[in-house]
Structure formats: structure tokens, C-alpha cells
Amino acid sequence: MSLVDRFKNSEAAALEVISRRCLRTRFQGSSCDRCVRECPVEAIRFEPGKILIDPKRCVGCLACTAVCPAEALVGCDSRLIAAPAKAAAGKAVFLCCEKGIRTGEEIILPCLGAFSEEHLVAFAVRAREGVCLCLARCGDCRGSFVPEVLSRRLQALASKLGPEGLLSAIKLITREEETEQAASVSRRSFFRAFWDLSIHAATETITTLQSEPDPKEKHAHKHQPARLILLRQALADSGEEAASLTLSQFFFTLTVNTECNFCGGCAGMCPTGALKNTREGELKRLQFDWARCSGCGLCLEFCRKKALTLVAGRSLESLELESEVLLEMNVA
């Protein structure tokens, strides 16, 4: 139980399910099962119109949140969103969960199983002196499989970006002696870390006790995954080589062929808002915002005409463009 849970005096849920974002909820014909395949403890199952989490099986590793393309599964701890901004260029960055604090210099997060490929790349871009994921205490936790999950994600990244370059800066530390050797212990830093934990726990508790935010805003029909925002922000601070390589794998290009009848169904189905129908007078347009696209492919599955093609890859010039027009139709 974390400090947040102790403040609340209850076992807090590790993640929240927002069914309306789920691809299978939006379109019954969707074949997406990323979260089910990723869950190491088989705690997730689908029923018509909803996702169900078995609380007896779920261990709070958050591995499912790292692969959901629409963020229908969201970690309740807010620290992961702000973490990449704390990675300072010019020094190594150490990341751990609350159980893994050793020096006080670490960036403390919920379970590191929440680290998606996008998170790993964002940290590698920002902290060029090295990113160390401290996993030495995973063996004492219900999420003992997290090092294996992260190792698999790094292997997937290596197949996309190559084993050298950005990925050479990421290291999994799985033994305590390696953690102690990696960074010097500072008494002040150590106690500051626990002070930060206390402040975080109090803040999370107050937020929970306050009135709930507007559900229309919290559970928006169109939602851009936070990890895409973090990755794009990191690219803005990176060099051209890193940006070009990342754009080629994590952002997408959508094209439309002549079979399209401009029904607009793809825009309605898109869970991230990457596709939009606009109209100016008698001119209809189908616009694609590449920065919002998670590559989920729901638009392709829904299109009866099979008029869409989605491929990984954007050019550096794309960074200057927010969206592009895929199709125009004059209805006059």
C-alpha cells in the first residue's frame, strides 16, 4: 500500500476504466485486444459495451495502460504525466516506484509497468546521459514480472529504432547492489524524497475528497493520449536525427483513395480526434491531425469501402503542420 493509500485509509484502485474510449465499445466489429494480451495476470475481459477488471486478479502493474491506444485504461496516479519534464539534460535519470527509493535522487512513479514505448523514448530524448529504471524491489512485489514486461518493450523498441542511439541510454537495474553503485546517497535527498511523497499523498487525497470534475470533460468523447503529447513535447527539444527516427515509427500517415464516399463515419469513430469533418460553405473537408493519431486503426476497420490506408511514418516537415486535408468535396 502506498502513502496515498495510507492517507485515505483504504486500498485505492490503481486504474480507471473509461469504456466509451475503448475501440471495442465504439465499434463492435473492432478486433482490438491489446490490453488483454498485455495483462500478465489475465485480469481483463470484455463484455458488450464495457471492459471489466477483476480486482482479485489485478495487481496494479498498469501494464495495460501502456498499450491501450485510446487511453480507455488510465492510471489513477498523476505523477507519470509530469515525469518526463523532470528529466534534466546533462545528468542521468533514475526512476523507481515508492518501494524502490534508495538514494532520494530518483523520480518516483507508480509501478513502472505503466511505461509505454512512447514514455521510454521521451525519457531517452530528454535525459541523454542515461535513463535507469530501478527494478531491484520488483521481486518483493505482486508485480514481480514488471522487469520482464519492460525488457520486452525495449526489445520491441530496438526492432523499430535500432539497438544503438537513443536506446543505449536506457538501462534496467534489477539488483540492489547495482542501484547503490549507480548513484550516491544523500541524506538530504533521501528525506526530501519522502517529503515529496507525503505532499503527493496529501494532494491526491484532497483531490479525491473534492467534488468530481465535470464527467463530460473527464470522459471526453474524443481524447488525445497523454503519452503522444509527452512524446511530441520531447521531440521539440531533441535534435533532428532523434526527431526523424521517432517520427518514422510513432506517428502515422493516413491516405484516402477514390473509393471514399465522404460518409464521415471514420471521423465519428476516431477515439482521439485525429479525423475531423469540416465544412466551409459548400465545401466539405476530411482533415487528419497526425499528432493526435495513435495508429489504432479503428477508422480502417469501420470503413466499408476500405478507402483508407494507415502507415507509420512522418517527415520532419510535419512538425510545422498541425493537420492536413485528406479529401475535399464540393456539394453545391
What is the predicted pLDDT for the residue at 4? 43
Comparing 110-114, 231-235, 253-257, 316-320, which segment has the lowest mean pLDDT? Answer: 316-320
- In CATH, what number is assigned to the domain containing residue 100? 3.30.70.20
Distance CA 223, CA 21 (A): 8
3-state class percentages of the chain: helix first, strand second, coil last, to nearest 5: 45, 15, 40
**Burial tier of 196 (Cβ tally within 10 Å: 0-12, 13-18, 19+):** middle
Comparing 104-113, 194-203, 227-236, 266-275, which segment has the lowest mean pLDDT? Answer: 194-203
Region at 84 (left for phi over 0; alpha for psi -120 to 50; beta for the rest): alpha
Q: Which helix (H) or strand (E) holds 96?
A: strand 93-96
Render pLDDT for 115-161 as a digit per residue (tens, 0 to 9).
999 999 888 888 767 889 999 989 889 999 999 999 999 999 999 88
What is the predicted pLDDT for the residue at 208? 44
Distance CA 112, CA 288 (A): 33
In a shared domain, residues 31 and 165: yes
pLDDT band at 17, cuts 50/70/90?
A: very high
Comparing 176-190, 202-216, 222-236, 277-291, which segment has the lowest mean pLDDT? Answer: 202-216
Comparing 159-168, 251-260, 285-294, which segment has the lowest mean pLDDT? Answer: 159-168
Of 193, 218, 243, the residue at which a domain comes to its end is 218
What is the predicted pLDDT for the residue at 167? 82
What is the predicted pLDDT for the residue at 124? 85
Render pLDDT for 158-208 as a digit per residue (tens, 0 to 9).
998 887 777 888 999 987 655 555 555 555 555 555 556 555 554 554 444
Q: Which helix (H) or strand (E) holds 132?
A: strand 131-134
| Residues counted in the chain | 332
In a shared domain, residues 309 and 175: no
In a shared domain, residues 267 and 189: no
Of 199, 218, 237, the residue at which a domain comes to its end is 218
For residue 193, the SS3 value is helix
Averaged pLDDT for residues 109-114? 92
In a shared domain, residues 178 and 307: no
| Count: domains in the chain | 2
pLDDT tops 50 at residue 10: no
What is the predicted pLDDT for the residue at 7? 42
Q: Which helix (H) or strand (E) holds 309?
A: strand 308-312
- Of the candidates 195, 236, 225, 244, the one whose C-alpha atom is nearest the C-alpha of residue 69 is 225
Helices within 93-220 (DSSP H only): 117-126, 146-161, 176-182, 187-209, 215-218
In a shared domain, residues 211 and 258: no
In a shared domain, residues 80 and 188: yes
Residue 309, beta-bridge partner list: 255
Distance CA 90, CA 128 (A): 7
CA distances from 87 to 93, 94, 184, 297 (A): 6, 9, 18, 32
In a shared domain, residues 194 and 309: no
Instruction: Evaluate whether residue 230 is within a structural domain.
Output: no
Contacts of 185 (CB under 8 A, 6+ apart): 102, 103, 104
What is the predicted pLDDT for the residue at 199? 53
Averaged pLDDT for residues 80-105? 78
Averaged pLDDT for residues 209-227? 63
Render pLDDT for 94-109 as a digit per residue (tens, 0 to 9).
899 888 887 777 888 8
**Residue type present at position 88:** A
Count of other CB atoms within 10 angstroms of residue 274: 25
Distance CA 161, CA 270 (A): 27
- Cβ proximity of 227 and 260 under 8 Å: no
What is the predicted pLDDT for the residue at 206? 45
Distance CA 79, CA 77 (A): 6
pLDDT tops 80 at residue 252: yes
Higher confidence at residue 236 or residue 96?
Answer: 96
pLDDT tops 70 at residue 11: no
Tell me the pLDDT of the chain averaged across its residues: 82
Range of the domain at 7: 3-218
Instruction: Evaluate whether residue 234 is within a structural domain.
Output: no
In a shared domain, residues 127 and 267: no
What is the predicted pLDDT for the residue at 187? 55
What is the predicted pLDDT for the residue at 92? 81
